[in-house]
C-alpha cells in the first residue's frame, strides 16, 4: 500500500496532507520527510462514505517522497488555487468566506487540530476545506453528523476496529505456480498487515478501539511482495467462522486460479498461515487458536511463517497436536523490518521464541532470508551457528527484488548491474567470477536468483538435511518441504516454468 497526498503552500510554509478513505485512521508520514509536526486530522463525508486525512508541517519535499503526490493546493490572497495534472474539479471554491462557513456544513468536515497561531490554523483549515470540496464536488454529505473544529494540545489517534466477512476463508497460492510445493491452501486473518499498524507512546487496544496507533506503510517489511495488496489493518480484519473453516479444510474450498468456482473436493493436507500478512500477533490470537482447533478436527497440518508469534503454552499444545511447523522469519537487517521491530519482534526476539517452542517439543525452525548470489556473510554465519548450537533446523529463502533502491541497500550493487545492463544477455546475468558468484534472471519486473552461490549449494546438498532451501529457477525447483515432507531438488517441466514466470491471473 502506498499513501496518496497533496502539498499545501501557505504563506512561507509548506504542509503535507496524506489522504485516507477511513475517517478515523491516523497516518504516520514516510520517513523520507524527516521530522514533521502533526497539525491536523480532518474527516469528511462524501455521500454516505467517510474519509479523512492528516496534515503535517514540513521543511522540504524529498526527491523520493515515498508517497504519491497528486495535487498542490496554494493559498494566494483571499483565494485558494488547486493544481492537479488530471483535473477533476466539480465545484469551484475560491473565497475564504465560503471555505470557512459553507463548505464545512456541505461535507460534515470535522477537524482535530493543534492549538496553533491564528494565521497558521486559518490557512490549514482553508486549504484542507478547499481540498475536500475539490475532491467531493457535488457529492455532499448524506445523513449529516455536523461539522466542528476541536482544538487540542495533542492529537490522540483513536480508531475503531472493523471486522469484515471474507468471501472465502482459504485461498490458493504457490502450488498453482510451483506444483511441487506442498502448501495446498493459505489462510490470512485480514487484508492488512500488523507491521504497517504501529503503536506510539500511550498505545492501547481494548478489543474495540485502538488508541495511539498509526497507519505506516513505510514500516512494513521492505522486501514484502504483498505490500501493494495490503489495506488498512484495523479496518480489514476478517470475521472468524470455525464451522465454515472446518468445511473448507474438509474439501469445500476453492483454490484454483483459473476456475474460482471449482471446489478442491478433498481434504487439505497442509495449510499455510499468512500468505500475504502476519498471523502470529496477539490482536488476532482468537483466529489463530481457532484455526488450529479446526485443524485438529480435520487432521490438517500447518506451516506457519511468522515474525510475531510469542511463546504460548496453549498454542504449543495445539501445534503439537496438528504436527505443525513454525518458521521464524529471520531477515538480514532489522532496518528492513521497521514495523516488526517497533512491535518488539526483532530478529533477536524471534530466535528466543523459536528456541522456546523447540524446547516445548514443537517443530520450530528458522526461515533465513539470504542474498543468494553471495556467500554467507557475518550475520548469516552467526545465525547458522546459533541454529547448530540449539539444534534448530533452517530453511533458506533467497530474496527476490522488485525495488531498485532496496537492491542497492541490501546487496551493495545497483539494480542495472544485477539486471545485466544493455551489454549483457537480456534476461540473465552471469556475474564476474562465476565460480564465486550466482546469477539473476529478470522476469515480470522481478529480479530473481537464477543460479545459487556455490556456498549455499554445498550447504543444502540434496536439500533434505538440517538446512534446506525454498526457491525456484528456470532449471530447478528447490523444495525443502517446510520440514513437513521430504526435501528435494527437481527439474520443473516446461509448462511449470511458464506458470512460475507468468503473471497471476485475475479473479
What are the per-10-residue average pLDDT scores of the chain (507 residues)?
A: 90 95 94 94 96 96 89 85 65 71 93 96 94 92 92 97 94 81 94 96 95 94 89 95 97 86 92 96 96 98 97 98 98 87 95 97 97 91 96 95 87 82 44 56 83 92 96 89 94 62 48
- d(Cα 52, Cα 19) in Å, to the nearest integer? 6
State which H helix or E strand residue 395 sits in: strand 394-398
Look at residue 331 in the predicted model and tell me its pLDDT. Answer: 86
Q: Report the candidate in 252, 323, 329, 261 with the shortest Cα–Cα distance to residue 292.
A: 323
Q: Is 258 exposed, middle or buried (0-12, 13-18, 19+ CB in 10 A)?
A: exposed
0.85 cut: is pTM over it?
yes
List the chain domain ranges. 4-155, 167-412+454-500
The reported pLDDT for the residue numbered 494 is 58
CA–CA separation, 287 vs 279, rounded Å? 9
Q: Give pLDDT tens digits for 290-329.
A: 999 999 999 999 999 999 999 999 999 999 999 999 999 9
Answer CATH for 167-412+454-500 from 3.40.50, 3.10.450, 3.20.20, 1.20.1070: 3.20.20
Count how many residues are written for the chain.
Answer: 507
| Residue recorded with cell 478442491 | 264
Record the cell numbers describing residue 285, joined without a space: 490470537
Q: Please tell me the predicted confidence (pLDDT) of residue 195.
A: 96
* End-to-end Cα distance, the chain: 20
Chain centre to alpha carbon of residue 117: 38
- CA contacts within 13 A on the Cβ side of 1: 25
Q: What is the DSSP letter of 98?
A: I
Measured in degrees and rounded to the nearest 5, phi and psi for residue 55 equal: -115, 130
SS (H, E, C) 333-345: CHHHCHHHHHCCC
Q: Which helix (H) or strand (E) holds 446?
A: strand 446-451
CA neighbor of 71 nearest in space, from 1, 17, 12, 2: 17
Q: Residue 448's pLDDT is what?
A: 87
Contact 238, 287 (CB under 8 A): yes
Task: Determine how β-strand 301-306 pairs with β-strand 270-273.
Answer: parallel
Q: Which pLDDT does position 86 carry in this prediction?
A: 54
Instruction: Give the model's pLDDT for residue 143.
Output: 87
Phi, psi of 474 (to 5 degrees): -65, -30
Distance CA 170, CA 186 (A): 5
Q: What are phi and psi of 295, to 5 degrees?
A: -65, -30
484 vs 325: CA distance, rounded Å: 7
Determine the Cα–Cα distance for residues 66 and 391; give it in Å rounded to an integer: 42
CB neighbours of 110 closer than 8 A, spacing ≥ 6?
42, 43, 44, 145, 146, 147, 148, 149, 150
28 grid coordinates? 504516520
CA-atom Rg of the chain in angstroms: 25
Q: Residues 6 or more apart from 465 whose CB is under 8 A from it? A: 487
> Which pLDDT does position 53 carry in this prediction?
97
The reported pLDDT for the residue numbered 437 is 57
Strand, coil or helix: what is 146? coil
Strands 467-469, 394-398: pairing is parallel
Amino acid at each position: 500500500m502506498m499513501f496518496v497526498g497533496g502539498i499545501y503552500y501557505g504563506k512561507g510554509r509548506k504542509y503535507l496532507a496524506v489522504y485516507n478513505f477511513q475517517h478515523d485512521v491516523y497516518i504516520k508520514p514516510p520517513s523520507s520527510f524527516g521530522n514533521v509536526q502533526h497539525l491536523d486530522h480532518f474527516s469528511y463525508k462524501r455521500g454516505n462514505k467517510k474519509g479523512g486525512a492528516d496534515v503535517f508541517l514540513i521543511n522540504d519535499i524529498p526527491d523520493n517522497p515515498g508517497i504519491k503526490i497528486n495535487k498542490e493546493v496554494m493559498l494566494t490572497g483571499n483565494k485558494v488555487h488547486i493544481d492537479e495534472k488530471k483535473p477533476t474539479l466539480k465545484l469551484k471554491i475560491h473565497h475564504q468566506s465560503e471555505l470557512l462557513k459553507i463548505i464545512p456544513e456541505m461535507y460534515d468536515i470535522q477537524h482535530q487540530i493543534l492549538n496553533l497561531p491564528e494565521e497558521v490554523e486559518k490557512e490549514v483549515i482553508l486549504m484542507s476545506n478547499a481540498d475536500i470540496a475539490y475532491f467531493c464536488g457535488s457529492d455532499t454529505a448524506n445523513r449529516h453528523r455536523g461539522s466542528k473544529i476541536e482544538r487540542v494540545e495533542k492529537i490522540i489517534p483513536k480508531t475503531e476496529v472493523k471486522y469484515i466477512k471474507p468471501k472465502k476463508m482459504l485461498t490458493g497460492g504457490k502450488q498453482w505456480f510451483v506444483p511441487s510445493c506442498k502448501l495446498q491452501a493459505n489462510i490470512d486473518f485480514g487484508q492488512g498487515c500488523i507491521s504497517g499498524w504501529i503503536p506510539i507512546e500511550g498505545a492501547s487496544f481494548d478489543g474495540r478501539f485502538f488508541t495511539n496507533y498509526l497507519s505506516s506503510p513505510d514500516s512494513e517489511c521492505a522486501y514484502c511482495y504483498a505490500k501493494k495488496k495490503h489495506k488498512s489493518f484495523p479496518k480489514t480484519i476478517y470475521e472468524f467462522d470455525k464451522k465454515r473453516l472446518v468445511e473448507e479444510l474438509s474439501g469445500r474450498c476453492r483454490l484454483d486460479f483459473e476456475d474460482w468456482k471449482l471446489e478442491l473436493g478433498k481434504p487439505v493436507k497442509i495449510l499455510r498461515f499468512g500468505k500475504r500478512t502476519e498471523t502470529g500477533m496477539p490482536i488476532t490470537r482468537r483466529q489463530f487458536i481457532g484455526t488450529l482447533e479446526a485443524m485438529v478436527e480435520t487432521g490438517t497440518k500447518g506451516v506457519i511463517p511468522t515474525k510475531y508469534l510469542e511463546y504460548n503454552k496453549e498454542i504449543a499444545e495445539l501445534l503439537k497436536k496438528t504436527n505443525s511447523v513454525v518458521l521464524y522469519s529471520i531477515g538480514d537487517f532489522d532496518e528492513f523490518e521497521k514495523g516488526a521491530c517497533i512491535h518488539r519482534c526483532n530478529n533477536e526476539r524471534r530466535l528466543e521464541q523459536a528456541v522456546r517452542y523447540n524446547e516445548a517439543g514443537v517443530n520450530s525452525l528458522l526461515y533465513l532470508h539470504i542474498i543468494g548470489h553471495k556467500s554467507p556473510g557475518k550475520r548469516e554465519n552467526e545465525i547458522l551457528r546459533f541454529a547448530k548450537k540449539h539444534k534448530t533446523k533452517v530453511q533458506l529463502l533467497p530474496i527476490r527484488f522488485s525495488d531498485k533502491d532496496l537492491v542497492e541497500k541490501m546487496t551493495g550493487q545497483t539494480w542495472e548491474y544485477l539486471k545485466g545492463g544493455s551489454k549483457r544477455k537480456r534476461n540473465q546475468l552471469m556475474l564476474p567470477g562465476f565460480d564465486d558468484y550466482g546469477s539473476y534472471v529478470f522476469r515480470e519486473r522481478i529480479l530473481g536468483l537464477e543460479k545459487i552461490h556455490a556456498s549455499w549449494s554445498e550447504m543444502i546438498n540434496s536439500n533434505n538435511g538440517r538446512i534446506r532451501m525454498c526457491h525456484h529457477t528456470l532449471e530447478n525447483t528447490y523444495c525443502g518441504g517446510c520440514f513437513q515432507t521430504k526435501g528435494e531438488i527437481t527439474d520443473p517441466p516446461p509448462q511449470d516454468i511458464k506458470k512460475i514466470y507468468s503473471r497471476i491471473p485475475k479473479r
